[in-house]
A and B are shown apart, each in its own frame.
Chain A
Amino acid sequence: MSNGKDFQPKIVAFCCENSGWLAAEAAARLELGYPEKVELIKLPCSGKIDVLYFMKAMEKVDGVMILACQKENCKFLKGNERAKSRVLQTQRLLKEIGIEEDRVTIQYLAANMGNKFVEIVQNMYDKVRELGPNPGKVIK
């Protein structure tokens, strides 16, 4: 993989099924495009995201994100707060081994925000593309 202009990052977006996942479906209904190399994995709540999932994903991809319900609007009340703390934890772990912390992020949106979903995904894609390939990739 090169760090040139043709670099296409791979991103995993873990999606709360009450917001991010439905927003992705909304984006599909609106036929809004986003890069192919963004994979979605459904979770029942952003609070189900595990530091381990982030780390395991980072062993093979260039960036990971969790798409959560709007702040103070988690269906399970505290899920998105816990998700935020796990993102911070993962960022700390990556930073201490010299991997850019920006490769992990949490973004908040609601189920009907198809446009916002695409915007979030595209922004992350562009940011990671700028960062270049994940230097810590174990599985290439």
Chain B
Amino acid sequence: MENNVRVGVFFCNCNGKLAEKVDYGFIVSEVKKLPVVEYIRESQNLCAHLEGELIQKEITKHQLNRVVVVGCAEARGEKFFTGVLKKAGLNPHHFSMVPILEECSSVHGNGNAVTAKALELTMMGISRAVQLDEVGFGEFAVERSVLVIGGGLAGLETALECADRGFKVVLLEKDEKLGGRLLRVNTIFGVAKKPADLLQEKIKAVEGNTNIEVFTGSRLVDLDGAIGDYTAYLCKGGTEVKIKVGAIIVATGVQTIFCPVKYGLGIADNVIGQMKLERVLADGKDFTQKRISFIVGKATEDYNLSFIVGLKNALLLRKKFNATVNFFYTNVKVGGDNWEALYTEARAAGVNFFKFVDNFEIAAQNGEITINYEDPFLQGKLPGTHKISSDYIVLPEEIVPAEGTEELAKILKLELGPGSFFGADNAHLLPEYTSRDGIYLVGGCQFPCMMSDIEISAKTVAEEILKKLYADKVLVELTSPTVDATKCVVCLTCYRCCPHQAITVEHREEFKNLYKSAAQMNPLACRRCGVCAAECPGKAVQLPDYTDAQILAQLEAMEG
């Protein structure tokens, strides 16, 4: 804080809403007594037309360098006022807002206590304003290239989206050829093209794109750095290649585990997994007039994919082969684009749907499958066990993260979420986000998903990267925590506590301490949570706009 602090306090009446309960006259007279307050104005409505220009003139005229607005907490309002500060040549962070409307008028009754609280809040706001520091911008050179891990549909799609936006792309595939698991699929719900054709198209587009370099038979083995400046170590056939990239996209997908034992069945020709059904259909197997039972549920309740894939194939078998199709389910899961229409169409086409809960048994004998089950809907009219015979039974595979996911997570320094997938399941984060900026997720590696999700994710991620790495040098507001090197004892507490891997310990001659080292927060990787500042045992780390001085000043200004 510099010595010459000149605070301007602007009271807004919100068109008379505030003065109803709060005695502004008294508050103004108290605020006037503060020596740091240079200027006070009461306004009927600070959001009104021309108010911005007026405030700007007042800032200049009275040489104000801190602005406190007493009124409401409207987020739009905050942007408006910081804009005014900028126009007046002040740092927008020299601004403090006191939400009397939200914290007083709307939630308390009338009386002296309300005015007393409004005064207290105003004093806290002014005390905070006095402690505010300027926040500037920093320019950072970044790598405008991305590494895409996984050459399946998600990886191909993302590589193309990123290349379209001018990024150099390195596409990494652990197998010898691109395409991934969808190559083995017969049809994709909602997509007219054959998956194999679709993939060939994408592969051709990728291979023909000069911005994309493909590494097949390769893996990521090590990683250094942070967003804009990652060093990735790739291994191709025993030789290690080091590349610099600005961002990394994980598109490693899923793998399926076929486990008929869970349903009391062994391996047999007529016991088919959903993935295998896709393959045999693609190979042209004939199911004319066969009896086929689908089972979806139990082990696969966490995601919708198995239900939709089962539904899609039930309808196909019914229509194409005039097969008798029985569909056993625990829950109908049709919460998605056109899924319910698919369900209705299947019913109309004559697919038989049976709900089961507990009493459900499958037996396979002499090539025939018998299902004994109790129908919870028919308990009244047709109680007891029903028997249904079929020629084939289709079971869902369990969908689990791709092989090597755990090792990859370790290399990327990411924690795995539910089901050991990469996705975090956090309402505050997009499903494409990870705990580290610059590392994103597309496709099944987040969580089992549909092709439409892949298309959306690929675009989202490409746009996100473009937003962050928009040029060779990017401008970032330095609102990430600052470190006072004279107080930093490089104890690594902040480094270990950072949820975003945004902290490094740097050695520089300019750091005035025993070690000439200090923890540094990468402004590109830091998300400004302040966990590091709260953990620092030396009070060396301070988060701009929330420094200890600013928070303790509020506590100090508070009445006991």
A-side residues, CB < 8 A to B, are 10, 12, 18, 24-25, 27-29, 31-34, 36-37, 39-41, 43-45, 47-50, 52-53, 56-57, 60-61, 69-70, 72-79, 82, 86, 110, 118, 137, 139-140
Contacts and interface: CB of A to CB of B under 8 A. Distances in A.
Contacts of A70: 427
Contacts of B552: 53, 56
A12 B531 contact: no
Contacts, number: 125
Contacts of B114: 36
Most chain A CB inside 10 Å of its own CB: which residue of B116, B415, B426, B555: B555
A25 B73 CA distance: 8
A82 B534 contact: yes
B190 interface: no
Contacts of A139: 560
Nearest to B103: A40
Given A28-B101, A44-B529, A82-B531, A77 B435 contact: yes
Contact of A53 (B120, B121, B427, B555): B555
A57 B557 CA distance: 11
A29 B429 CA distance: 26
Contact of B530 (A43, A56, A69): A43
Size class of B's contact patch? 35 or more
Contact of B543 (A28, A41, A44, A74): A44
B546 interface: yes
* Residue among B99, B104, B117, B560 with most chain A CB within 10 A: B560
Contacts of A79: 499, 529, 531
A60 to B, nearest CB: 4
Contact of A31 (B106, B528, B534, B548): B106
Interface of B: 73, 99, 101-104, 106-109, 113-114, 116-117, 120-121, 124, 415, 424-429, 435, 497, 499-500, 527-531, 533-535, 543, 545-546, 548, 551-552, 554-555, 558-560
Given A61-B560, A79-B499, A48 B107 contact: no
Contacts of B551: 41, 43, 53
A19 B368 CA distance: 57
Which 8 residue pairs are nearest across A and B when measured between Cβ atoms? A48-B530, A76-B529, A75-B428, A28-B106, A28-B102, A47-B531, A60-B560, A45-B529
Contacts of B529: 44-45, 47-48, 75-76, 79
A48 B108 contact: no
B427 A48 contact: no
Contacts of A37: 113, 117
A72 B424 CA distance: 9
B549 to A, nearest CB: 12
Contact of A77 (B426, B543, B559): B426
B456 to A, nearest CB: 22
Contact of B424 (A44, A60, A77): A77
A56 B553 CA distance: 11
A47 B531 CA distance: 5
